[in-house]
Amino acid sequence: MLRIIILLTIPVLISCATKSKVPLNNDAPLLEDAMIQNDVDKKANMLAQEYIITDGHIDLPYRLKVKNFKLDREYMGIPVETDEGDFDFVRAKKGGLNAPFMSIFIPSSYQDGRAKYLADTLINMVTGIAAELPEYYAIATSPDDVRQHFKKGIISLPMGMENGAPIEGKLENVQYFKDRGISYITLTHGKDNHICDSSYDTTGTYGGLSEFGYTLIEEMNKVGIMVDISHVSDNTFYQVIEKSKVPVIASHSSARKYTPGFERNMSDDMIKKLGENGGVIQINFGSTFLDGKVADERNKARTDLTNILEEKGLSYRDDAAEEVIDAYYSKNPLAFSDVDMVANHIDNVVKLAGIDHVGLGSDFDGVGDSLPTGLKDVSEYPNLIAELLRRGYSDEDIEKICSKNVFRVWQSVLDYAEKN
C-alpha cells in the first residue's frame, strides 16, 4: 500500500507545480525541479529497499586479508560498521544491497602452487564471518537462499572465485569448490593461467581456452558453477560462449564503447553475443572502466608524478614520497567518472542485448580510489536507481537490473546441473 501511495503522489506533485502560472519569484522553476528531483530520490530509495539488490563482485575478503583481519565478535568494526573500505553491513542496508558476491580473489602471483591454499583461507574467512555474525550475514548458494535471507533482513554472502588457478588442473576441484560455497569462477585474472588467456596478458598462450579449459567449462556446467568471463581475452570469450551449455556472466565488466582499446571491457559484438547466450554483464563502477578519457588523465598524472619522484630520488613506497604525492594531487586532483556514466553503460547494453542482460558488478573494495562520483560505497545504489528512473526505466526494468537478471542465469545453471 505504501508503494501505491508514493507512486500516485509523484504525478500529483508534478501536476501541481506545472499548473502554477504566476511564479512567485524567478526561483519558481528551480523550486519545481527540486520538487520533482526530491520525488525521484524518494522513489529510488524506496525501490532500493523493496527490491533485492545483488552485486556481482565485492573484494571485501582480500581487503580484510591485507588488513590482517582477525574474526573477533567483540570487535564489531569489520564488517558490521567501519570507516574503512567500501563495504560494511550498515552502509549496505542503507543502500539496499542484499547479496554482495564476495570475491575469493587469487592474484596472478599465486599461480605458483599457493592458489588453492589462499582460496580456502578466504572462503574460511567469509564462512567464519557468517557463522560468527548470523544476525547480520548468511552464506548463500542459490537465489532461493538470497530470497529467504532477504525476508529475515539478513545480508546474503554468495561467493565467486576470481581466477580459476585454485582448480590446479584437477576436475575434482570443481566439485570441491562447489561444496565450499563457490557459485561462479572467473576463469583467469591478470595473467594467462592453465585454463585460458587473460585480457591483461599479451602472451596469448593458447589463443583462448587451453585443452583443459574446454573440459573445465563442461565440468562447471555439470556441477552447477557459473562461468565468469570477466578478465578473459576476446578469443577466450567467444570460445566459452560456443562451448557452454548454459548462460554465462561477466561479473564485473563494462562496455568497451566508452574505453576504446581496453580489452578488459566488452566490445559491442561481445555484449550482443552474451545476450544471445542468455547471459548477463554486470557493470563495473571503476572510473577507468567507465570512461577512457578519465583513464587517460589518470595515466598522465601517474606518469608525471613518477617523473617528479624519480627526480627527487624517491619511490612511491618511501616515507618522504607521501608529502610529494599529496602536494601533487592537491594541485592536480584525480579525475573521476560519475553515476551518469554507469547509466550510460547500462543504456548501451540494453540497446545492444536487451534489458534482460545487464546487472551490477561494482568491484567495490577492488578499484581503490577510482570509484565514480555518486557511487563511492555500498550506501549509494539509490543514486544509480534515481538516474535510471530519470531516464525512463520502469520499476520492472530496475528490478531486473538489481537482481532478477542474475538470478535467472544463476538458477538456470543450477537447474542444468541438477538434470545432468
Burial of 314 (0-12, 13-18, 19+ CB in 10 A): middle
pLDDT for 13 = 30
Could you tell me if 237 and 374 lie in one domain?
Answer: yes
> Which of 306, 336, 366 finishes a domain?
336
pLDDT at 15: 31
Indicate whether 370 and 398 sit together in one domain.
yes
Is there a domain that residue 19 lies in? Answer: no
Judge whether 87 lies within some domain.
yes
270 and 205 share one domain: yes
Half-sphere exposure of 157 (CA within 13 A, CB side): 29
d(CA 147, CA 142): 9
Q: Which domain holds residue 159?
A: 51-286+348-419
What is the pLDDT, as a whole number, of residue 27? 56
Decide if 380 is inside a domain: yes
pLDDT at 66: 87
In a domain, 3, yes or no: no
201 shares its domain with 261: yes
Task: Decide if 196 contacts 233 (C-beta within 8 A).
Answer: yes
Whether residue 390 is contained in a domain is answered as yes
pTM of the model: 0.90
Q: Are residues 330 and 224 in the same domain?
A: no
CATH code of the domain containing 266: 3.20.20.140
Is 332 in the same domain as 265? no
Q: Which residues of the chain have pLDDT under 50?
A: 1-25
Handedness of CA 402, 408, 411, 412 (dihedral sign): negative
C-beta separation of 120 from 168 below 8 A: no
pLDDT of residue 78: 73
Note whether residue 163 is domain-resident.
Answer: yes
Number of compact structural domains in the chain: 2
Indicate whether 156 and 112 sit together in one domain.
yes
* Structure confidence at residue 38 (pLDDT): 87
| Same domain, residue pair 61 and 204 | yes
Give pLDDT, residue 35.
65
Query: Are 156 and 60 found together in one domain?
Result: yes
Q: Is residue 16 part of a domain?
A: no
Amino acid at 192: D
Residue 18 lies in a domain: no
**pLDDT of 301-316, one tens digit each?**
889 998 999 999 998 8
Closest CA to 285 of 364, 182, 190: 364
